Every structure is written in structure tokens, then in C-alpha cells.
Structure 1
Amino acid sequence: MFSERQRTGLGGAKSRAKMHQSSEVLFFNPQELKRLESSYSSGGLEATVPLIQEKLNNLKSAKLHIAVTGESGTGKSSFINAMRKLDDTDERAAKVGNTETTMKPTPYEHPDFPEVSFWDLPGIGTTTFPAEDYLTEVNFQKYDCYILVLGDRFNENDANLAKEVNRLGKTLYFVRSKIDLVFQNKVVEKEKELDKIRNYYVDKLRNAGISEATVFLISIFQKTEFDFDDLIETLANSFDDIKKDLFLKSLPSMTIKILEQKRNQLKKQIWMLATLSGTIGAVPIPGLSFACDLGILVTAIIDFRSYLGLNDDSLQRLANMTGKRVEVLKAAVTTPLMGEINEDFVKRILLGSTYLAISAIEIGLDIIPVVGSIFGAASSFAMTYKLLRNALEDLTENAKRVVKVALVSD
């Protein structure tokens, strides 16, 4: 089925070198990339399909557990709700209150992606969870990420938790929420005040034995202000690619920077989807000289929409969080990809003049380990890759317009 040129590709050793350079951006570890290369060398593109399919299955079956702790009144429940795209009044939201409302580790699944759970943990140092037993009682090893939401004063319980987590060699992220309230009725120089607050917590953590600590100052009501973007980027980069994928797709699409991170993450999957589209269940497309699996392309476009927050439920929640009418947000979307996506629709796109030949330079060989199949103007890989790439760019630009409308003050 595949020619010698397809089996070996152009560039030979160069492409193999790029393959290993790409190990941190392809969901594959170095050992898996070696297997991928070996399979491709001996059996061509078809031989790589089981490995790629396995990786995509891993993406679908993975789970992410993020633990959030802090004393009552620090805003940890509101933080959990915001990360789940919910406001505090939603019936699925974590309970908000100034008294201790969390008596045991309580999971809150993401409304769109139940494989992502945020765990509301009791504060350390209570009679139920004394400091010396805390990490054991809350099943510390279960969580992929640990966040401590700080109050306006750093206290002994905060110090105890930081020391215990540090002793176990785990990373604890520090978040000071409600930072917008600092400036509510106070005339101060913003940057100087933020530095003063941040340095206060860093000094306290240093005194507790935590020499390197980053404290993120955030407001869940003003996500484009303060350190919210930096917090998201730091958390995302702390995970491996599969967990990072789960984390990013679960985030509310509330800032341009988050949308760009989501787009970059989805780009890493396109080459895998394009490979499968040209091999698994591929059927000829009348009027074109290649075959592809239309079902894979349909599912991919729908998934891209959901990932970027353009599905109906996400738009409604964004409207609820920002006080905008959902009709106003939807009016910012102009792409035809918001309509019904089916196999006939994808066929029409493939037959359209926009999706013509694609070059190796356009694809970028530095992020694709198996490159032999991309050469040839009408190859299945090239055309389906370009379709998905263009669809992703189109949806991302529309999502950015939605965010800009959502954040404009009336």
C-alpha cells in the first residue's frame, strides 16, 4: 500500500533526529518514540497505527485529580467552582461559606470533562485532621497537583502543611485569592502593593523552611488581572503531556493566553488523527485522489469545539460567569464549524478549494516523528492534516472573539 518513498520519507537521519528532539511535545516518551520509529521503518505507516491508537486511547482514559486546601473563608470553594466553569450559585458548585464546610476530602467533577476532578480538602490542623496525620488521612498520594489557598494572613497551619508536603518531596502551589478586594476601597500603587503582598508570603514560607516558593495572587472575578494566567501556565507545565491535555481542556476559556495554550496542545494531536484517518476505515472520497476516515474527522472537529469552550453548555456557563447574554456571545462566532458537523459536511470541506496541497514546511517536521507519508500533494495525511489544522485555527480565532466580547464592560 505504501511506496518505498513513503516508508523511508525524505530527510532520513534528519527526520529521525527531529523525532527524538520532539519527545517532550508529542505525548510519547523516548522509549515509545523508538518503538514508533522501528515500526515505521519495518512496516511503514500502517505499522505505526496500533501505537498511535493506543496513545489516543490513553488520552481518553486518563484521569486528573487536583487537590485544593485552605482554611475556611480563603476562597478555596469559589476557586474550585471557577476552575470548573461554574459560579457559586450553580447546584453542582462546591459549597461556599465562611465556616468550615469541608469535613472530608470531597471530589467535584468537571461538568464537561468528568475525568477531571477538583478535590476540596479539609483545612489542616482541625480536630478531625491534626497536622501530624493530615497527609495520610486525606490520601495525599492520590492527587496529581496540590494547591493551598492562603488567607490574608499566613498562619501556623499553612506553615505545617507546607513543611509536610516539602518533606515528602512534592510540589505545593500557593494561591492568594480575593486579591481584588485589596484595591476595592484603597488608593495605592498597584504593582508596589502586589509586590509587598507577595513578598510577605514568600518571607513567611522561607521562615517555614520553604526556600523556593512562588505565590500567585489571583481574583476569580478578574482573571485577566494579576497572576491567573501565570498560575495556569505553571500548573499546566507541571504535568506530563496527557495530564496537561486534561487540565487545559477543562479550563474555562476566559483569557486569550489560555486559548493559545489550548490551541498549541491540540496541534500536537493533529498528526496522530491525520495518520489514523488515512489508515483505519479509510474510504475513497469521490473527486479526490485519496481515502480517509470521515468519522475521525467529524469527531475531531466536534472535540475541538468543546475543548475551546464553543459548545452550547460552555457558552452558557461563560455567559453566567460574566453577566453577558449567551446570544451576545454566540453572535461573535462566525465560523460554519458551529453548525452540524457530519460526514457530508466534511466531504464538502475536503472538496473545497481552501484545502489543497500542503508542504512539509507548513506541517513542521520538528513536531511529527513519522514524516514519510506527508509528501505528495494529494496524500491522505497531508489533506486531513491541513483540514484539521485549518479547523483548529478557525475555531480558536472565533473563541478569542467570544472571550473579548465576554470581558468587555457594558
Structure 2
Amino acid sequence: MGNASSSQQTAQSETSTYFTQEEISKLKSDFETGGVEKVKSLLKKKVKELDNTELNIAVTGDTGAGKSSLINAMRGLCSEDEGAAAVGTTETTMEPTGYSHPTLPNVRYWDLPGIGTTQFTAGSYLKEMEFKKYDFFIIVAAGRFTENDAKLAKEIKRLGKEFYFVRSKIDADLDSMRKERKTFDEGAEMGKIRSDCVSRLGKAGIPDPTVFLISSFEPDRYDFPRLMEALGDGLPSIKESVFILALPNINVQIIRKKREVLVKRIWMLAIMSGGVGAIPVPGLSAACDMGILIGAIIDFRKGLCLDDVALRILAERTGKSVEDLKAAAQSFLLGEITAPIIVRMGLGAVAVTVSVVGTALYLIPGIGSVFGAGSSFLMTYSILTKALQLLVECAEKVLAVAKGAE
């Protein structure tokens, strides 16, 4: 009884992540008056909303601060990759320059000229840079943060947006110190740099600022992973899920956070894909919407950086071929997804159906118990749950190969 209660609480929490209380009430009402078919329309609208949610990230700082390198690192690109932000060029434009995510075009990163390179005040700067369209700001400095940086941060805060201070090129600074000194303590030196940044920002009027020390060329080290976590935590739930899926797979923790995001979509897709009638496995293709199932698995691959574009970018960086990376993953799910593959997944899903019943029965608070163990809903739910788990394992294997190559 305790396990069922725990599953219900978890599922209800996941439901409220994407739905307002008003939408949850409408789900219940629609089901009571029109059954599953009426519920499907709201779910289709919500899935479309998730797919079309835009995220705009503004990165600002003076010329040479490392804005372009940070934008590339957040997109999983190197400076030589197609579509990468140009690195090391002289800043000549006063206009924001946008860069789309390689596989998620609704996510855009904006390179804004540093306020020190313009004639604008902090207030007029934000107006000229179209402040309202950005979800948050990253203020980058390669050395000391300036009074202009602090003024900009205060103006951003006044207007109700989040901002983050990033001290870039920490790897170069530490390497120089390491070469100059007989004894060197990396942690202690990072602490000194961080304290200096915090102190100077404090004197400029920013109380208790958090400063992230990063290297855009080593995104799995220093404060880069902590920065990515902080950026996601500062967003509303739907945009946070979009941001997490847009992250490069720099460590296992990010892959597992992506799994948490994707698993929350499975129950919606399952209701959209099937009805509630009992079905035999041979009738799987008729009872479940193959288009939704195939599309979901393709979207899972994209979110987990297992699509061909992401694998090609990774292959170029590691010196391996896409075929090598796919071979390391050892999964039929990285090839073409067809109806026979879905049926094959369905045959395997029968064995795991019982294990997901406890969760699936409570996915929609108040109405979820209608879905029985023999429903096409549960079959679809099982298939997608199994597919996601296999793809997460693939992503972890590919990450291990990439780290080994690097």
C-alpha cells in the first residue's frame, strides 16, 4: 500500500510539473463527460506546447571575455563546427547575434555586445538589446568584473529577470599559476579567484553574488556542470525541461536528468497513442498509433544526443566515425525506427507490463485508475518506457567512448 501511495504522489508531482491546477481539473472533467477521446485533445495541445516552447539565452560581456566559446560549449560545438559562433574575432556589431541549437531550433543563444563596448547606459542597453525576449542573462568576464557589469546586473534584476556571473578561461589562469609556482593548490587558487570576484561585485552593489568559474574547453570540469544546473533551476518547469534537453551530454548526471524530463511525457503520449480496450499483442499495430510511437522514440534520441546530427558532431570532435559510436551503443534503436521494430518492442514490453502498472494506474490524479493492465495505453506506456531506458543506456555508452577518445 505504501509503494502504491508513493507511486501516486510521484506521478501527481510529475503531472503538475507541466499542467496548471486548472488544466488538471479540466482533464478530470473532460474524462468524466467524454472519456479518453476528449482527454486526448488537451494532451495533444500540451505536447505541442512542449515541442514549440522557445528558450532564448543572452550571453553578454566585453570583447575577448569568451562569450562565443561559452555559446559553443552550451551547444556541444567546437569553433570549427558548422554553425558555431566565431571565436577570437573583433567585436564590430552592436546588434545581438543569435545561434540556434543544432537539433532544437526553438532554443537560441544570443551573443550580446558587452555594455563596455557600447555608449548605452545599463537601462538603455537592455532596451536596445530587446531585453524582454530573453529568459535569462549570463554576464561573462575573462578577468575582473567591471562596474558596468554590476550596473547591468542590477538593471536586469530590477526588471525581473535572472542573471548569472561567469568568470571564464579559468583553465588558462590555473595553468599559468601552476607553471610559475613550486607548490600549487588548484582548489585554494580557485577559492581566491572566486573570493576576489565576489568582493569586487559586492563593492559595486551586488550583495552575495554567485560566481561560476569555468572553462568552455573543459565543460565537464570546474563550475561548468554547476552552472548548467543553476541555469535550469532558475527557469519555469516547461522551459527547464527544454533547457535540460538542449544540454550536451558532458556527464552521466545530465543524461539521467534528461531521462527524468522525457519520462514525464510518456503517459501523455501513451494516452494519445492508444485507447483503453484490452488488446492482444498481434493487434498492437492497430491498437496503438505507430506514428506517435515512432515519433516519440526519434524525439528521445534527439534529446539524448543520439540523433545523426549530434553523433556526427561528437564523431568529429573525438576522431571516431558515427558508425563507431553507434557500434559502441549496440542498439537497434539507433537505426531506422519502423513498425516491425515497434512490434518487437511490444513483444518485449509484455514482460515488463506488470512492473509499470503501479505507476501507470495513477498517472492522472483522480482518473488514472481507468487504465487496466490489458489496455493499449499500458502497452504503449511500456514500450516507450523500455525504449527510453535502452536509449539512456546507449547515451551512457557513447559518453564513455567519447571520454575515452578525448
TM-score by length of 1: 0.88
Residue 261 of structure 2 corresponds to which residue in structure 1? 265
The offset of 1:240, in angstroms, is: 2.1
CA contact (8 A) 2:166 2:214 kept: yes
Correspondences of 1:170-185 after superposition (within 5 Å): 170-185=161-176
Distance 1:18 1:83, change over 3 A: closer
Tell me how many residue pairs correspond in the alignment. Answer: 397
* RMSD, aligned α-carbons: 2.9
- Amino acid in the other structure paired with 2:311: L
CA contact (8 A) 1:290 1:380 kept: no
Distance 1:23 1:299, change over 3 A: closer
Q: Deviations over 1:216-270 (max 9, x none)?
A: 1111222221112111111112222321232122221222111111111001000
Residue 42 of structure 2 corresponds to which residue in structure 1? 51
Q: Which has the higher helix share?
A: 2
Does the alignment pair 1:152 with 2:149? no
Distance 1:22 1:366, change over 3 A: farther
Q: Give percent identity, aligned residues only.
A: 47
Q: Please give the alpha-carbon distance, in whole angstroms, between the structure 2 residues aligned to 1:364 and 1:390.
A: 14
Residue 400 of structure 1 corresponds to which residue in structure 2? 396
3-state SS of 1:135 partner = helix
Residue 139 of structure 1 corresponds to which residue in structure 2? 130
Does the alignment pair 1:381 with 2:377? yes
Residue 369 of structure 2 corresponds to which residue in structure 1? 372
Q: Please give the alpha-carbon distance, in whole angstroms, between the structure 2 residues aligned to 1:365 and 1:101.
A: 59
Q: 2:212 aligns with which of 206, 209, 216?
A: 216
CA contact (8 A) 1:66 1:119 kept: yes
Greater displacement, 167-176 / 264-273: 167-176
3-state SS of 2:353 partner = coil
The offset of 1:327, in angstroms, is: 4.1
Does the alignment pair 1:316 with 2:299? no
Q: 2:84 aligns with which of 93, 99, 103?
A: 93
3-state SS of 1:184 partner = helix
Q: Please give the alpha-carbon distance, in whole angstroms, between the structure 1 residues aligned to 2:317 and 2:330.
A: 22
CA contact (8 A) 2:96 2:113 kept: yes
3-state SS of 1:85 partner = coil
Q: Please give the alpha-carbon distance, in whole angstroms, between the structure 2 residues aligned to 1:223 and 1:273.
A: 33
3-state SS of 1:174 partner = strand
The offset of 1:290, in angstroms, is: 8.2
Q: Please give the alpha-carbon distance, in whole angstroms, between the structure 2 residues aligned to 1:57 and 1:375.
A: 27
Q: Please give the alpha-carbon distance, in whole angstroms, between the structure 1 residues aligned to 2:352 and 2:48.
A: 30
Does the alignment pair 1:108 with 2:108? no
3-state SS of 1:267 partner = helix
Residue 327 of structure 2 corresponds to which residue in structure 1? 331
Q: Please give the alpha-carbon distance, in whole angstroms, between the structure 1 residues aligned to 2:315 and 2:11.
A: 43
Residue 181 of structure 2 corresponds to which residue in structure 1? none
Distance 1:319 1:17, change over 3 A: closer
3-state SS of 1:408 partner = helix
Any unmatched runs of 5+ in structure 2? 179-183
3-state SS of 1:254 partner = coil
- Amino acid in the other structure paired with 2:399: V
TM-score by length of 2: 0.89
